[in-house]
Amino acid sequence: MIIGLTSFLGAGKTTIADYLTKKKGFVYYSLSDVIRDEIRSRGLEVTRERLQDVGNELRKEFGNSVLAERILERIKEESEKDFVIDSIRNPGEVEALRQRKDFVLVFVDAPLHVRFKRVKERRREKDPLTLEEFRRAEERELKSKHSANQQLLRCKEMADFIICNNSTLQSLYKKIDNLIKEITKEKKGGFGNE
């Protein structure tokens, strides 16, 4: 099983990925790690804006599915394992991952005020510190006229499941457990691109 995660900024993708890896035995991959590797190979500092820019650049140069293809190449040899793939932000990435019949896309959602609070608390890679900066950062990710850029609204439309992460961690974990049961049940009944 491959669970792909996409969401707006601060909705809880990483929390879900941590739960799946630490409690459910999933193997973790992030499309952002492919971009981080590229940024570091250029001798540059990793920032949120640079992650967006270099990711867009890689998709323009090598195709919209390049990040997903590189991750799929890494997991090819581990077909018996379950995977969680984080940071899916472009429809081309979703389409590439859907080549695997065991892939499902989950969109993680939460209200804006909840997400902003989480981002302020985590302070990662120069996250925005004001609500205005937060809204500007998010706007860059939502949709773009160029197909190689981030397209989170389109990814949300492509999701097989949506999890609303607006409560406690225990509530979120229960939603994830129920999601895994639902995916397993649907796969037995013919879920996916068969």
Q: Residues 35-84: pLDDT tens digits?
A: 999 999 999 999 888 998 999 999 999 999 999 999 999 998 787 899 99
Asked, for residue 193, whether it belongs to a domain, the answer is no
Give all strands (DSSP E) within the chain, no chain letters. 2-7, 27-30, 83-86, 103-109, 161-164
- Give whole-number Cα distances, 120 to 8, 51, 137, in Å: 15, 19, 13
The label of the residue with tokens 């590797």 reads 37
Query: Which residues neighbour 17 within 8 Å (Cβ) at sequence distance 6 or greater?
Result: 5, 26, 28, 30, 84, 86
Beta strand 83-86 with 103-109 is unpaired
Residue 190 lies in a domain: no
The answer to whether residue 13 sits within a structural domain is yes
Question: Is residue 40 situated within a structural domain?
Answer: yes
**What's the rounded Cα separation, in Å, for the pair 148 and 8?**
18
Assigned token pair, 71: 């991750």
* Cα–chain center distance at 110: 14
Q: Please give the model's pTM, rounded to 2 decimal places.
A: 0.86
Would you state the pLDDT for residue 189? 59
Q: Report the domain count for the chain.
A: 1
Q: Does a structural domain hold residue 34?
A: yes
163's CB contacts (< 8 A; 6+ apart) are 16, 106, 107, 108, 109, 172, 175, 176, 179
> In the prediction, which pLDDT does 106 show?
98
Structural domain for 52, as ranges: 2-185
Q: What whole-number distance in Å separates Cα of residue 93 and Cα of residue 29?
A: 13
Let me know if residue 179 belongs to a domain. yes
Confidence of residue 142 (pLDDT cuts 50, 70, 90): low
Q: Is residue 191 part of a domain?
A: no
Q: What is the CATH number of the domain that holds 126?
A: 3.40.50.300
Whether 192 maps to a domain, the answer reads no
